[in-house]
Structure formats: C-alpha cells, structure tokens
Structure 1
C-alpha cells in the first residue's frame, strides 16, 4: 500500500484516510504519505486488518468513499487465524464497504502483483532463484503462479489440508510445509537464494 500510494501521491497534496493497525500506519508514515482523520478531505481510503473496527469507522469510510475518495484494500482475506480459531479479517471490512457504497475496492495486496514486482525489482530478486512463501491459496499461491515463480504453502495459517486437496490445479503450490520451521531445509535442498514472504508485501 505504501509503495503504491507513495507513487500516486508523490509531490501532490493528497491525503489518505486509513483503517488498519499500527504496522500499516507506520509504513505509510515512513513513506511520508499525508494522513487524515476526516472524510471531507480524504483522497484515498485505505482498508487493512483492524481489530478495533466499529460502526463509527464504517460510517467514516463510507462517507469518504461517497465523497469521491478512491477505495483501496491491502488485502481481501475474509478470515485470520488465531490461537482461538479464525476471526474476521480485512476482507470482511472491505466487503461491508463495497456492499454499502456500491464501489469496488482496488486490491493492492496479493494476488495483485504491483507490490510483489516492486519488492523483487528493488531487492534484485530474479524469478529463477526466488520462492514465494505464504499460507493463502487464492492470495499467496495465485500471485506466485502469476509471476511464474516457485510457491511454498505453509499449513500453519488459513489453509487447511482438506482445502489444499480440493484446490484446482491453478492454485496448487509447488511445495507444502507444515510450518516456517521447515523452510530452511527446503531452501537449502533446492538452492533458492531469495525468499519473498507475506511480510515483504504487506
């Protein structure tokens, strides 16, 4: 989100209304993107995971979008894994706004390729020696397939074994591991030098 908005708002007096958690706010601040807390002067509405989202925030985002602000989503994952089980995630908030405003959010996170391509280019990652690691079939794995790079699915996240078995060929990862602890051995075994993870493209 910061990479995209930094490109779009460079040398412009553009303000962004953000709904997310501290990591997203910090990323945008570091990119020197101007933030606002009102709907009247927002040029963009950015929605990410927000565990303190409520009706007042929904109303604020709704007003900004109807006032003409461009609607952007960091991801559309509808659930998020926790120790207590899955909980609603950013996608649930995005869907509520899409339904109420009749506006479709521009997806910046996976499987959208803007962030991934930018990260790979800036770090000098070549497709031939890069693997993409993630826990989502329709986000991480699909993005890797679109980039034609090796994909690794981690089963400690949102994807269960039975979901993997039912997945179509287009969403099948090249490798499957139980947790990130298994990654070093996989990396060494196959000689991949670079890793692109979900952390790189939040």
Structure 2
C-alpha cells in the first residue's frame, strides 16, 4: 500500500519566497503519479487560498486548497473539541482568522474566551498589550505552534513559539501544545484526513519539529537538508530520522 506524504513547507518546499527547485520537481512528480500528499505546516499565517497562491508564484502547479493542514486549523479544532466558549481574539494573520471562523468562533476583542497566538509579521506592542489584558481577565491562551525560529532566504527570523513564550511568561498561563513536534497537530490532521499513523510519511527539514513528531509517534520520517538542520545536527540533537536526503528528487 502506498503511503500518504505529509510534507512541511518552510525550509522544505521553499525558504521564505525562495523556491527549492528539487522540492518542486518532487511535488510535480507526485501529482503526475497521482500519489497522495498534504502539506502539514506550523505556519499559521496564510489562508488555504493564500498558500496555493504563494506556491504558484514560485512556480508550483497543481496545488489545491485541500492540500493544506495548518497549525491554525489544528488549534481551532482542538479548542472547539476541548473547551467551552466560542469568542476569540487573535494575534495572527488571515490564516488564523479563517481557521477560527471555519470552526465556529466569533472574533471578539473585548470579552474573549480565548486568545489565539499565531505568527503575525506585523505584530505590535499595542496588539500584544491588548491580548495580555484579555488573558489577565481570564481568556485562555492557545498558541498555534512553538517554533523558535523560521528559515528565511538570508538566514532566520523569530518564530511564533518565541511570541507564545512571552505571553506564557507574562501571564503565568501555559498554552496547550498544538504544532509540530507535539502530538496534537498529527492527531487532528489524521482525524481530518481520515488516516492512521501507519498510512503516512512525514517529510521535513527541521529535526526538532518535523522529524521529532514522527519519532515520538512511530511514524516513518524523511529528513531533507534544505532548511533549518543539517546532517551533523542529527547526532548533536539525538533525533534520528528514518531516511535522509539532500534533495527531495532523490526520493524519485
């Protein structure tokens, strides 16, 4: 039985706006062969349509909205399943708003039951302070993921996890762990896609998120050295993937 690929985006398919050419050839071949794949990403910024357009601008073809499962989707689904209340304030961008609205949440910046925190590249002190007030008044903190840093064409930028940690420190709350490498995103993705762990293979560039998620859940993994980590980091971190490639075309 052929397995379904769950593929990371940042550092695996592209770095920021810089295309990783071997990754594009790999995905195009999967489409040609009619092999099943989805993008499992901690990136909560974009809507599903924006994710398609972002990849199309780099040259990807055949990508559809249903190919994406994001940490924003996982966070909204998890909160709906596990907590009462449907009023939410959010730090984030269109992708997080879309995910919240899809799950029946109403956006409320005065009397919120939740403060969701996803990466917001236009985040301001004012936004953070408003979120803090809501959290101190009893709103529940929900971080979409705890990525420390993100791969960019010229290096790295601050990840959402660093922002979530700021709110945890300020409020003495703890966010549930949603995004990779935590089990929640995989459990919610498998439920959403009607798959089991043995049906999928995780592909990613980050040993501490993509690969560790697989290791923790006994899921087959493919580590590609195009993003955050390199081969020498495997022993340093003690996180061992099932397979290692320097270019996803090697899998073809």
TM-score using structure 2 length: 0.64
2:102 maps to what in 1?
Answer: 30
Aligned to 1:2: 76
Pair 1:123–1:161, CA change in 2 (3 A):
same
CA distance in 2 between counterparts of 1:126 and 1:106 reads 23
Q: Secondary structure at the match of 1:106?
A: coil
Residue segments in structure 2 that go unaligned for 5+ positions in a row: 1-74
CA distance in 1, matches of 2:174, 2:165: 9
Q: Distance in 2 between matches of 1:104 and 1:128?
A: 31
Aligned 8 A contact 1:50 1:89 in 2: no
Q: Is the 1:75–1:90 Cα contact (8 Å) retained in structure 2?
A: yes
Aligned with residue 136 of structure 2, among 41, 66, 72: 66
Q: Give distance in 1, aligned partners of 2:115 and 2:248.
A: 33
Q: Quick one: distance in 1 between partners of 2:85 and 2:96? A: 20
| Displacement after TM superposition at 1:34 (Å) | 1.3
Aligned to 1:189: none
Q: Does the 8 Å CA contact 2:78/2:188 hold for their aligned counterparts?
A: no
1:136, CA displacement in angstroms? 2.2
CA distance in 2, matches of 1:65, 1:149: 36
Counterpart secondary structure, 1:156: coil
1:164 Cα deviation (Å)? 2.6
CA 1:180 to 1:46, structure 2 compared with 1: closer, same or farther past 3 Å?
A: farther
User: Structure 1 CA distance, aligned partners of 2:140 and 2:152?
Assistant: 31
Instruction: Give the aligned partner of residue 176 of structure 1.
Output: 244
Q: Are 1:16 and 2:84 counterparts?
A: no
User: Residue 203 of structure 2: which of 101, 121, 133 is its match?
Assistant: 133
Q: Is this contact kept in 1: 2:145–2:178, CA < 8 A? A: yes
- Map of 2:176 onto structure 1: 106
Aligned residues: 178
What is the 5 A alignment of 1:153-168? 153-168=223-238
Q: Distance in 2 between matches of 1:80 and 1:17?
A: 24
Task: Classify 1:180/1:62 alpha carbon distance in 2 versus 1 (closer, same or farther; 3 Å).
Answer: farther
TM-score normalised to the size of structure 1? 0.79
- Corresponding position of 2:148: 78
Question: 1:87 deviation in Å?
Answer: 0.5
**Higher relative contact order by CA 8 Å / sep ≥ 6: 1 or 2?**
2
Structure 1 runs not aligned, ≥5 long:
186-202
Q: CA RMSD in A?
A: 2.0
Distance (Å, rounded) in 2 between the aligned partners of 1:114 and 1:41: 27
